[in-house]
């Protein structure tokens, strides 16, 4: 099973890029964050014409998550009651016996912003939700834009960002609780140093590789033993020129991939 997660930063703006990616990579499961579309405006034909079933939890203008799967989905859940304040940030489904939770976690903005306590509350609620939804002994995957760089190796300037969302001790404590529950970072030991998943649009961050690894696959041990490959599709962070000369702008995130046997 080939699973891809991608914060597309607006499916409407990135529709042609997503189409090119699906045709080139053909994932079995495709998890998207930041749809920035209500359910009724999601271009379902884009996915259904390629044989995907859909679980969509959209929202106008902001947020929004989607799972597209070549296999049917069961036990679909949407939303994080008590934690997301009505924002569309979680969709989960069971696919071929594997439970997949697709997240767009809050960024937090700044340590003194009201958005930071919201982020911490989101994670506290999420941890309880996962404990209720899953079992560490079962095949379980948490993926998406988690908005936490867990280690100094996961951010280009750890000293500069110490105490700043997404590299704050309070966030690292929540990450630790997810690990304690029974999740493992599936990509960590498969990636070269300075491999990131997000680069700000500003300051030529992508050109200078001033990035962060904040998109993740967190998996239980039964999935970890089945991992055959992980990768960051860095080239898809670049602008693309079509044959007709039109240019497609990229998201500020690259797609990430997990393949399990």
pLDDT tier at 15 (50, 70, 90 boundaries)? very high
pLDDT more than 90, % of the chain: 97
CA distance 140 to 13: 31
- Which neighbouring-strand residues pair with 188? none
| HEC-encoded secondary structure of 231-242 | EECHHHHCCEEC
DSSP annotation of 203 reads: G
pLDDT in tens, 80-133: 999 999 999 999 999 999 999 999 999 999 999 999 999 999 999 999 999 999
Report the pLDDT value the prediction gives residue 225, as an integer from 0 to 100: 97
The C-alpha R_g of the chain, in whole angstroms, comes to 17
Mean pLDDT of the chain: 97
DSSP string, 36-91: -S-GGGS-HHHHHTTT-EEEEE--SSS--EEEEESS--EEEEE--TTTSTT---EE
Confirm if 127 and 174 have CB atoms less than 8 A apart. Answer: yes
Structure tokens given for 177: 């609780």
If 0-12 CB within 10 Å is exposed, 13-18 middle and 19+ buried, where does residue 77 land?
A: middle
19 versus 193: the higher-pLDDT residue is 19
pLDDT score, position 261: 95
Mean pLDDT of 243-249: 90
* Beta-bridge partners for 7: 33
Q: From CA 63, how far away is CA 178, in angstroms rounded?
A: 23
pLDDT for residue 216: 98
For residue range 62-72, what is the model confidence (pLDDT) as tens digits?
A: 999 999 999 99
For residues 57-62, give the mean pLDDT. Answer: 96
Strand duo 29-33 + 2-7: pairing: parallel
What confidence score (pLDDT) does residue 243 get?
86
Per domain, the residue ranges of the chain are 2-260
Residue 230 pLDDT more than 90? yes
Residues linked to residue 213 through DSSP beta bridges, in sequence order: none
Q: Looking at residue 17, what is its pLDDT? A: 97
**Residue 38 is encoded by which pair of tokens?**
């209500």
**Does the pLDDT value for residue 232 go beyond 90?**
yes
Distance of CA 165 to the CA centre of its chain: 17
d(CA 82, CA 149): 25
Q: How many residues does this entry show for the chain? A: 261
Superfamily of domain 2-260, CATH level 4: Endonuclease/exonuclease/phosphatase (3.60.10.10)
- Across the strands, what pairs with 30? 4, 68
Is the pLDDT score of 148 beyond 90?
A: yes
- Which pLDDT value is given to residue 245? 87
Pairing of strands 198-199, 2-7: unpaired
Q: Say what the pLDDT of residue 242 is.
A: 87
Phi and psi based region of residue 92 (left: phi greater than 0; alpha: psi -120 to 50; beta: remaining): beta
pLDDT at 110: 96
Which residues, at least 6 apart from 173, have a Cβ–Cβ distance to it below 8 Å? none
């Amino acid at each position: 099973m080939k699973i891809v997660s991608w914060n597309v930063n607006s499916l409407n703006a990135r529709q042609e890029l997503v189409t090119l990616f699906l045709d080139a990579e053909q994932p079995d499961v495709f998890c998207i964050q930041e749809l920035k579309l209500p359910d009724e405006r999601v271009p379902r034909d884009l996915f259904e014409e390629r044989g995907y079933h859909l679980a969509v939890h959209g929202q106008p203008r902001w947020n929004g998550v989607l799972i597209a799967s070549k296999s049917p989905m069961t036990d679909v859940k949407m939303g994080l009651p008590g934690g997301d304040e009505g924002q569309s940030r979680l969709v989960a489904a069971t696919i071929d016996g594997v439970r997949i939770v697709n997240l767009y976690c809050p960024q937090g903005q700044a340590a003194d912003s009201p958005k930071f306590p919201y982020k911490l509350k989101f994670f506290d609620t999420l941890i309880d939700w996962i404990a209720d939804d899953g079992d560490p002994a079962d095949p379980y995957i948490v993926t998406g834009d988690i908005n936490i760089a867990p280690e100094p190796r996961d951010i280009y300037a750890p000293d500069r960002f110490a105490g700043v969302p997404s590299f704050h001790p309070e966030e690292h404590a929540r990450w630790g609780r997810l690990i304690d529950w029974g999740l493992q970072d599936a990509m960590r030991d498969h990636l070269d140093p300075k491999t990131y998943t997000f680069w700000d649009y500003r300051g030529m961050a992508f050109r200078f590789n001033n990035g962060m690894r904040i998109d993740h696959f967190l998996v239980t041990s039964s999935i970890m033993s089945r991992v055959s490959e992980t990768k960051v599709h860095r080239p898809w962070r670049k602008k693309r020129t079509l044959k007709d000369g039109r240019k497609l702008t990229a998201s500020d995130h690259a797609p990430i991939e997990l393949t399990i046997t």
